[in-house]
Amino acid sequence: MLVIICYDVSTEPGEEKQGQLTRLRDFHARNNAEASKWQAKLKQTVIEDGNVFAVLVDAVRYCSLGQITSGLYEVGGNIGAACKRLP
């Protein structure tokens, strides 16, 4: 499982940075089983062109922003680049 940390901790003081990383690791450990379930549900919803927002409302309880972003990227690719090309 690929985990991406999207919080820019590089600008935080050492103690704050370590605290954020510790809380993220604890969050992942605490929600590991449920996170996998919600990541799969989120991906399937995107593939089926369903209501992604409704699934996100529940997924954020168990998945970090990095996990959600990674899952969405897997099924949708880099939509940011595609949006920049729109007229």
pLDDT of residue 3: 52
pLDDT of residue 54: 95
Domain presence at residue 25: no
Number of domains in the chain: 1
pTM beyond 0.85, yes or no: no
CA distances (Å), origin 58, targets 13, 16, 21, 41, 42: 32, 28, 23, 10, 10
Of 8, 9, 4, 7, which Cα lies nearest the Cα of 68? 4
Domain presence at residue 66: yes
Domain presence at residue 15: no
Domain presence at residue 43: yes
Domain presence at residue 23: no
Domain presence at residue 48: yes
State pLDDT tens for residues 7-28: 555 566 678 888 889 999 999 9
Q: Is the dihedral of CA 59, 64, 3, 51 positive or negative?
A: positive
Is the CB of residue 68 less than 8 Å from the CB of residue 59?
A: yes
Q: Which domain holds residue 66?
A: 32-87
